Amino acid sequence: MALTACGTTPTRQPSTETPRKPGGYYLDDGPHANPPADLDQVPDAQPRPEPIRSANARPYTAMGKSYVPMTELGAYRATGLASWYGKRYHGKPTASGEVYDMYAMTAAHPTLPIPSYARVTCLATERTVIVRINDRGPFLSDRLIDLSYVAAYKLGLLSNGSALVVVESIVPNTVPTTVATAQAPVPAAPAREVSAPAPAALDRPGVYLQLGAFSLKENAASLLTRLQAEVTWLTDPAIYQTGGVYRVQAGPYANREEAEQAAARIEQTLDLKAVVVSR
């Protein structure tokens, strides 16, 4: 690979292979023979104040294409293919210098600040996770983000190797928005305790808006608290549990058109994508 840049060289070799197919992995990549049994319990990454690494904020070139990373935290939203990387890179350095852990909620992105946090929603499974961006890649034109093994597992896209996702940046209010040259981590801000309400039962058929799906009830409760504070006009938002997934939904609405109008209003207000679902 020929790679030139004003900044650091990404440490992970970009693949020129097509996205993985079920049962096949790039070179010797893939899951371990006996992955941990409690992957469902791995919590989402918790956004916290961290300085952006200046070494990872410089323009660079990979596989003949130039990239200009974001130099400050800000709004970002894109839809594209997500892939994942596993044991081939497990224990090896990432572009940030940190060691890649396939069982941690991290991801690689070509231009999002390092480190930063992103919300990733799989459109096929309607699952959502939060990851910490600590690596560069993928460098194929048809892919948007490379997820860690556990993040892909929680989104339900392991078997297909890739899936269409929505990636949205998360900007904590207390995070500095300029590039920092210091490499020492900033102490995490005290976590705000959220009292998670008891999930409701799916006993009212109709048209609903789904605003998020989480494996942890606390994360669903955090979103619900935000909705109740910032969009007071929203129709009866609540948490509904199905299996091990906690879904934040609002409704029911009189019809799909009314629900879609509410979804558009939410996206304008919160830059949050709502999906119309029926049950």
Distance CA 109, CA 140 (A): 11
Under the banding of pLDDT at 50, 70 and 90, the label for residue 155 is very high
Query: What is the DSSP code (8-state) at residue 99?
Result: B
Which residue in 68, 65, 63, 62 sits closest to 9, CA to CA?
A: 62
Distance CA 58, CA 56 (A): 6
* Residue 276 near residue 263 (C-beta atoms within 8 A): yes
Cα Rg of the chain, angstroms: 19
* Average pLDDT for the chain: 77
pLDDT, residue 40, reads 83
* pLDDT over 70 at 77, yes or no: yes
* pLDDT over 80 at 201, yes or no: no
Place of tokens 């005290």: 190
Distance CA 1, CA 162 (A): 23
* Residue 263 near residue 194 (C-beta atoms within 8 A): no
Query: What is the DSSP code (8-state) at residue 209?
Result: E
Greater confidence, 71 or 13? 71
Place of tokens 């300029």: 178
pLDDT, residue 158, reads 83
pLDDT, residue 119, reads 95
Question: What is the pLDDT averaged over residues 80-101?
Answer: 83
* pLDDT over 80 at 242, yes or no: no
The domain 207-278 having CATH identifier 3.30.470.20: the answer here is: no
pLDDT, residue 78, reads 92
Under the banding of pLDDT at 50, 70 and 90, the label for residue 206 is confident
* pLDDT over 50 at 18, yes or no: no
Question: What is the pLDDT averaged over residues 10-37?
Answer: 49
Boundaries of every domain in the chain: 38-179, 207-278
Distance CA 263, CA 136 (A): 33
> Residue 99's CB: how many other CB atoms inside 10 A?
13
Domain 38-179, CATH homologous superfamily name and number: RlpA-like domain (2.40.40.10)
Which residue in 249, 23, 26, 13 sits closest to 108, CA to CA?
A: 13
